Structure 1
Amino acid sequence: MKKYTHLFFDLDHTIWDFDKNAEEALHELYELHNLQALGVASAVAFIETYTRNNHQLWAEYHLGKITKDTLRHLRFNKTFTDLGMQPEAIPAGFEDAYVQLCPTKTNLFPHAHETLSYLQAKYTLHLISNGFQESTKTKIAGTDLAKYFDNIIISEEVGVNKPHPNIFKHALELAGAVKEESLMIGDSLEADIYGALNFGMDAIYFNPLNLTKPDDVPVQIHSLDELTRIL
């Protein structure tokens, strides 16, 4: 690997295990709101349907096709209606309850703290997240991650999402870094990897599910601790 001085990490699905934390929260809310009595046959079906819808809506949000309010309005409404529930039967306040609960979950991907501690001794670390401001700050506080990062850049505060080049430009300016000595690490091909590569930064694709890697993505890892062997 070439010599880097600044590493930029994504948060959700890269360090903070979004799907695992969401699953825990949704299991709790399934019971709390007695969704089985409302016709949602199982927590498993509910979580699988939500996960599919949420991933699709986040992909649209990354690209600026929908707003934060639209994402939050649609992800559960679509999930409940996909499962056969009439709109008028959807529990009031379910989205708000989820937004309050899920960010308090603390599951990280394996080796997150050890890897970040190792890298912090060699590089200056920064975080660039497309997550929403209040949720992102809750996640970071609850998992003691802030101590690793010199800068935490949240797209909602900047006003532009990855993969837009302006958020990478802003991050580099904030860090006092240059493209040639900077590296982006994240799970989203569109937002993190192609966003960085198109901007002129190198990138490492975090691919824990071992999905097919596109040929134009140069480097991938399947576990965070691989970074300690290649950086």
Structure 2
Amino acid sequence: MNYSHVFFDLDRTLWDFEKNTEETLRELYEKHFLSLYFPSFFDFHRQYKEINEKQWDLYRQGKITKDFLRANRFYLTLKAAGVDDLSLADTIGTEYINNTPEKTALYPHSHEILAALKPKYQLYILTNGFREVQHAKVERCRLSPYFTEVITSEDAGFMKPDQRFFSYVLNKLNVAPEKCIMIGDDINVDIAGAQHAGIDTIFYNHSRDTYTIKPTYEITSLDQIGSIL
């Protein structure tokens, strides 16, 4: 296929979300003496991840706002340990948002594959993450030179996998779906969403799991993109 535009997800596709967020959470755990409330960092981390995923589901459904999500996920985490402290939760939430984008761990071959693709395609990041956070990550990781633009769900007014998100992108760039390909790690959000919009896909399958949704291509390492594009 003769593609002209290549779309990348950011978190868990280029930016190592698990490694970077765990590092930030560990720093906050120690700074705010959360060992007073949790048996271990593992318990705090596990509790937070479970609550954060549920809060993000509500945010994707439009049931809570961005600002509410930011503080409430930490408030609920602390409350699960018997700590009812909205001020502390708000402080941790703010520091998490400020500190996480400073982390720069990327998946192997990120820079190499982007450098190889840049001369041949127009590259874009399509992300559901918060606008200011995602832009900061891209800048801090020195990814900006590769990409024409970072397009967020806040820009579009809709979140992946909503087809209206992809319609917004295609209309904004004035490009036909068959000229585009989407690269992402989430089979339901990145891959199914793009496919419903008529866009080919490359599924970055970290876990090597089997899914009923069939992407156009599948990889387990970013350097494998070179054999496709």
Structures share fold, TM-score greater than 0.5: yes
Give the match for residue 187 of structure 2: 189
1:42 lines up with 2:40 in the alignment: yes
Amino acid paired to 1:173: N
Query: For the Cα contact (< 8 Å) 1:80–1:90, is it kept in 2?
Result: no
Pairing 1:13–2:12 present: yes
- 2:187–2:213 contact (8 Å) kept in structure 1: no
How many Å separate the matches in 1 of 2:13 and 2:60? 16
Q: Secondary structure at the match of 2:69?
A: helix
Q: Could you tell me whether the CA contact under 8 Å between 1:62 and 1:163 is conserved in 2? A: no
Q: Aligned partners of 1:215 and 1:158: how far apart in 2?
A: 25
% same residue: 39
The answer for unaligned runs of 5 or more in structure 2 is none
**In structure 2, which of residues 156, 159, 172 is the aligned counterpart of residue 158 of structure 1?**
156
CA drift of 1:155 comes to 1.4
Structure 1 match to 2:77: 79
Which shifted more, 46-55 or 118-127? Answer: 46-55
Shift >4 Å, 4+ stretches = none
How do 1:22-41 residues align onto structure 2 when only pairs under 5 Å count? 22-37=21-36, 39-41=37-39
Shift of 1:71: 2.1
Distance 1:85 1:225 in 2: 46
Q: Unaligned regions of 5+ residues in structure 1, if any?
A: none
Kindly report the root-mean-square deviation, in angstroms, between the aligned alpha carbons of the 2 structures: 1.9
For residues 120-174 of structure 1, what are the alpha-carbon distances to aligned partners after superposition, in whole Å with 9 as ceiling and x for unaligned? Answer: 1222111111111111111111011111111211111232211222221222233
Task: Tell me the number of residue pairs that the alignment of Structure 1 and Structure 2 aligns.
Answer: 228
TM-score with structure 1 setting the length: 0.90
**How far apart, CA to CA, are the structure 1 residues paired with 2:220 and 2:56?**
22
Residue 117 and residue 219 in structure 1: after superposition, are their counterparts in 2 closer, same or farther (change >3 A)?
same
| 1:174 and 2:172 matched | yes
- Alignment correspondent of 2:55: 57
TM-score for the superposition, normalised by structure 2: 0.91
Residue deviations 1:4-42 (CA, integer Å, cap 9, x gap): 1111111111111111110010111111001112x2111
State how far apart, in whole Å, the 2-side matches of 1:97 and 1:124 are: 34
